[in-house]
Amino acid sequence: MATRMKIAIASDHAAVELKAELRDWLIEQGHEVADLGPDTTDSVDYPDFGYKLAGVVADGTAERGVALCGSGIGISMSVNRNPAVRCALVGEPLSAALSREHNDANVIAMGARLTGSDMAKACLTAFLETEFGGGRHQRRVDKLSNPN
């Protein structure tokens, strides 16, 4: 099992149900989880929740983040607007693990309309249990926040 972490989770209206299931599952795994909303399926704008999630990961309130929307695309784009955050859109565990090992991703994004509950949990497990490889990857990761 992964080390217990502080994890923030946010979605748009299309992923509220998956968010609730993953939140509860993460708590069962022993993690401290901050649910940043929304709480209903009323229509919302994914950038609002993506920016909120990125902020708490960037300022260290959460060690990792989980971003969800219908496809995972829109919310991952909004999360990645913050230069301190590296959000990887994944759909299976190998990509989730490689996002950590090679890219030091601190947020994982998934699409609720594309990724079932069991696959989302498998992706989260790989994401949380994989350490950053460092070495040759560090220089590349550094360039993500400092392109010059």
Q: Residue 102 catalytic?
A: yes
Closest CA to 31 of 58, 63, 79, 53: 63
| Runs of H (alpha helix) within the chain | 16-28, 46-58, 73-79, 93-101, 117-129, 136-145
Evaluate whether 56 touches 3 at the Cβ level (below 8 Å): no
Known binding residue 72? Answer is yes
Count of Cβ atoms closer than 10 Å to residue 51 Cβ:
16
Known binding residue 95? Answer is no
Which one is catalytic: 31, 69, 87, 123?
69
Strands 107-111 and 64-69: parallel
Known binding residue 74? Answer is yes
Evaluate whether 75 touches 65 at the Cβ level (below 8 Å): no
Computed on alpha carbons and rounded to an integer, the radius of gyration of the chain in Å comes to: 14
Q: Residue 69 catalytic?
A: yes
Known binding residue 70? Answer is yes
Known binding residue 133? Answer is no
Known binding residue 73? Answer is yes
Known binding residue 135? Answer is no
Tokens of 34: 């901050």
Known binding residue 23? Answer is no
Known binding residue 91? Answer is no
List active site positions. Answer: 69, 102
User: What residue numbers does the annotated binding site for D-ribulose 5-phosphate cover?
Assistant: 12-13, 70-74, 103, 113, 136, 140
User: What residue numbers does the annotated binding site cover?
Assistant: 12-13, 70-74, 103, 113, 136, 140
